[in-house]
């Protein structure tokens, strides 16, 4: 049995533990955190290559076979999500090392523990351990959100913590119900049980499934549960907000994974349980997120609402169903995660040259580096708005092409085009305010750190990389979607274990 699938969990686990025990030696802690994070990039690429043969890699911890043991499952989808996380985290930690990590003594340990939770959530094949990894990443995110202190972060953190604690309680309630009826929390085994459930058990299983949908919708920041996100993301420090760009994707991933495998087309009476809810929630999330971006009073708040828009767009692709829409969604995940992370870092670069105006969308002092920052903002705005020739255009085009003819096509095209127009207007207003309608003088305290700029441009360059390598990435995404819809492949996990 290859031990590669557990390394994305072990590396941040041991790195975070060592960082807690090390003395207060800044250079040593930074080096360890950077090495552990950068190591995840080639590891993710290696896991993608290994998963590309179409076979599932099941890692049974302690040698206990499913459904009784705890298992990690590596498939194409999990490997792709690990790559998205590793690239984003590498840029975020590079940015943080330029001074943002000094606001608290445990930044790098918390950063690694959050990566532990995110990677574990993508790899686990067990619902209870999905809950465990959710809690790990959430606890780390509570502390990271408050990193550096300040009244605004405390207020945002309070709402964030309370809502997610409520979500965790509902998650446990759903898990207890499912386990009490099925006797298992292994996803593949539960899929087999749900498909064969009789009419007496189906209503309770369906209620638990919808409760899980509610929990995942909260994590993904979908309507009407997204109101915590704009305040939390706009209050967080730049590298933390950038890393948070992957957190809503964990909720989307959970919806895709659980409601495809357990409550998907092969679930008998409960087939496509969430389908009736996903479509209207997705379209309304996109529209209200775009309206929120129009009404935003700061660049960080605008970017936070763009994260909401991306969550709604991804959910719309999942609601469409079928391998084509799911493949488009996976390509869009890479684009939206990396570009959103880059823009949060860029917003901080701009804020550092505007004094007490920060990134409020009001007239402020002239920027010290308007050309390079303006060009980076223009590049990021084109990408996130979905204009050619960058990755956002290809991602949205794939989504629109995946819609079949009929009312679904009309609704999706209308919402994405209207939402995209609102986003373009919001970004144009922000750009003109921050870079054109400025004062004549520059602040003496303005700065542009080369390391921070490098980390930002590195993530922005990922949009170009997605275009250059669009064909192999799209083929991989299509293969991932096809594998995800091969339900028998996942059920073999428990059948081959002799249960």
Residue 442 predicted with pLDDT over 70: no
**Average pLDDT for 406-418:** 82
Percentage of the residues of the chain whose pLDDT score is greater than 90? 53
Residue 331 pLDDT: 94
What's the rounded mean pLDDT across residues 301-310? Answer: 94
Q: What is the pLDDT of residue 406?
A: 62
Average pLDDT over residues 419-430: 93
Q: What is the pLDDT of residues 338-393, one digit of tens each?
A: 999 999 999 999 988 887 787 888 888 878 888 999 999 999 999 999 888 899 89
pLDDT in tens, 221-235: 888 888 888 888 988
Q: How sure is the predictor about 499, in pLDDT bands with cuts at 50, 70 and 90? A: very low
Is residue 312 exposed (0-12), middle (13-18) or buried (19+ Cβ within 10 Å)? buried
Q: How far apart are CA 114 and CA 489, in angstroms?
A: 30
- Tell me what pLDDT residue 445 has: 66
Q: Which residues contact 308 (CB under 8 A, 6 or more apart)?
A: 221, 226, 229, 230, 285, 288, 289, 292
- Look at residue 444 in the predicted model and tell me its pLDDT: 63
What's the first-to-final CA gap in the chain, in angstroms?
A: 20
Q: Are 90 and 37 in contact (CB under 8 A)?
A: yes
Rounded distance between C-alpha atoms, residue 273 and residue 123, angstroms: 24
DSSP 190-214: HHHHHHT--TTTHHHHHHHHHHHHH
pLDDT band for position 198 (cuts 50, 70, 90): confident
Express each pLDDT in 48-64 by its tens digit.
999 998 888 888 887 77
Reported as a pLDDT band with limits 50, 70 and 90, residue 78 is: very high
Residue 51 is predicted with a pLDDT of: 93
Alpha-helix residue ranges (DSSP H) falling in 321-440: 323-351, 370-385, 391-402, 407-435
Over the range 219-242, which residues count as b (16 or more CB within 10 Å of their CB) and which as e? bbbbbebbebbbbbbbbbbbbbbb
Which tokens sit at 387?
């204009």
pLDDT of residue 357: 81
Cα(300)–Cα(257) distance, integer angstroms: 30
Residue 468, pLDDT > 60, answer yes
Paired tokens of 207: 């209620």
- Is residue 434 within 8 Å of 362, Cβ to Cβ? no
**Whether residue 1 has pLDDT greater than 60:** no
148 pLDDT more than 80: no
Q: Could you tell me which residues come within 8 angstroms of residue 17 by beta carbon, excluding any fewer than 6 positions away?
A: 109
Place of tokens 């960082």: 19
What DSSP designation does 377 have? H
* pLDDT confidence band for 498 (50 / 70 / 90): very low
Contact indicator for 88, 243 with CB cutoff of 8 Å: yes
Please report, for residues 108, 227, 353, 356, 490, the alpha-carbon distance to residue 5 in angstroms, rounded to integers and kept in the order given.
Answer: 23, 35, 44, 47, 17
Which of the residue ranges 37-51, 310-324, 391-405 would you say has the lowest mean pLDDT?
391-405
In the three-class reduction of DSSP (H, G, I as helix; E, B as strand; rest coil), residue 426 is classed as helix
What's the rounded Cα separation, in Å, for the pair 39 and 34?
8
CA dist 432 → 24, 42, 364, 378, 386 (Å): 44, 40, 12, 10, 19
Query: Is the distance from CB of 71 to CB of 150 less than 8 angstroms?
Result: no
Give the largest CA-CA distance in the chain. Answer: 75
- Residue 34, pLDDT above cutoff 70: yes
Q: Is the pLDDT of residue 496 over 80?
A: no
Instruction: Report yes or no: 178 and 185 within 8 Å, Cβ to Cβ.
Output: yes
The three-point CA angle 389-394-395 to 5° equals 135
Per the model's pLDDT, the better-predicted residue between 449 and 112 turns out to be: 112
Name which residue leads in pLDDT, 44 or 449.
44
For 73, phi and psi rounded to 5 degrees?
-125, 120
The residue-averaged pLDDT of 490-499 equals: 60
Mean pLDDT for 65-84 is 88
Nearest to 205 by CA among 259, 134, 133: 259
- Taking residues 395-411, report their average pLDDT: 79
* 240: its two tokens: 């933390």
> In degrees, to the nearest 5, what angle opens at C-alpha 284 toward C-alphas 282 and 290?
105
CA-wise closest residue to 300 among 377, 220, 359: 359
């Amino acid at each position: 049995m290859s031990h590669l699938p557990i390394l994305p969990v072990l590396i941040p686990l041991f790195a975070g533990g060592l960082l807690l025990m090390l003395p207060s030696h800044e250079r040593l802690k930074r080096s360890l955190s950077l090495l552990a994070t950068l190591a995840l990039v080639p590891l993710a690429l290696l896991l993608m290559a290994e998963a590309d043969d179409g076979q599932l890699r099941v890692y049974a911890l302690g040698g206990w076979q499913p459904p009784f043991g705890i298992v990690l499952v590596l498939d194409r989808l999990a490997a792709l999500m690990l790559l998205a996380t590793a690239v984003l985290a590498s840029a975020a930690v590079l940015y943080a090392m330029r001074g943002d990590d000094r606001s608290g003594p445990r930044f790098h340990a918390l950063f690694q523990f959050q990566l532990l939770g995110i990677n574990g959530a993508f790899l686990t094949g067990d619902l209870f351990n999905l809950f465990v990894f959710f809690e790990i990443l959430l606890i780390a995110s509570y502390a990271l959100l408050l990193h550096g202190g300040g009244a605004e972060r405390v207020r945002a953190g309070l709402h964030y913590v309370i809502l997610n604690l409520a979500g965790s309680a509902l998650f446990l309630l759903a898990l207890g119900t499912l386990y009490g009826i099925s006797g298992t929390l292994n996803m593949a085994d539960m899929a087999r049980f749900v498909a064969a459930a009789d009419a007496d058990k189906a209503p309770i299983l369906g209620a638990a499934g919808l409760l899980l949908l509610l929990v995942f919708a909260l994590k993904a920041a979908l309507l009407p549960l997204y109101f915590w996100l704009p305040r939390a993301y706009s209050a967080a420090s730049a590298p933390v907000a950038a890393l948070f760009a992957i957190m809503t994707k964990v909720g989307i991933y959970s919806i895709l994974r659980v409601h495809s495998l357990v409550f998907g087309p092969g679930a008998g009476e409960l087939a496509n349980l969430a389908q009736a809810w996903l479509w209207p929630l997705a379209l309304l999330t996109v529209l209200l997120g775009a309206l929120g971006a129009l009404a935003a009073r700061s660049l960080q708040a605008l970017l936070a609402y763009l994260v909401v828009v991306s969550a709604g767009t991804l959910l719309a692709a999942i609601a469409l169903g079928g391998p084509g829409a799911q493949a488009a969604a996976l390509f869009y995940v890479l684009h939206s995660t990396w570009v959103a992370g880059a823009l949060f870092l860029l917003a901080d670069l701009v804020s550092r040259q505007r004094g007490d105006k920060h990134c409020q969308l009001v007239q402020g002092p002239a920027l010290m580096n308007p050309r390079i920052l303006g060009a980076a903002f223009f590049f990021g705005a084109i990408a996130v708005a979905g204009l050619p020739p960058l990755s956002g255009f290809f991602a949205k085009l794939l989504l629109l092409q995946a819609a079949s003819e009929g009312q679904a096509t009309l609704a999706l095209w209308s919402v994405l085009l209207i939402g995209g127009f609102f986003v373009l207007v919001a970004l144009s207003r922000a750009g003109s305010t921050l870079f054109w309608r400025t004062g004549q003088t520059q602040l003496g305290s303005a700065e542009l750190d080369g390391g921070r700029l490098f980390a930002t441009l590195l993530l922005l360059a990922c949009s170009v990389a997605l275009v250059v390598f669009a064909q192999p990435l799209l083929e991989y995404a299509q293969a991932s979607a096809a594998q995800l819809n091969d339900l028998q492949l996942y059920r073999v996990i428990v059948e081959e274990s002799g249960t």
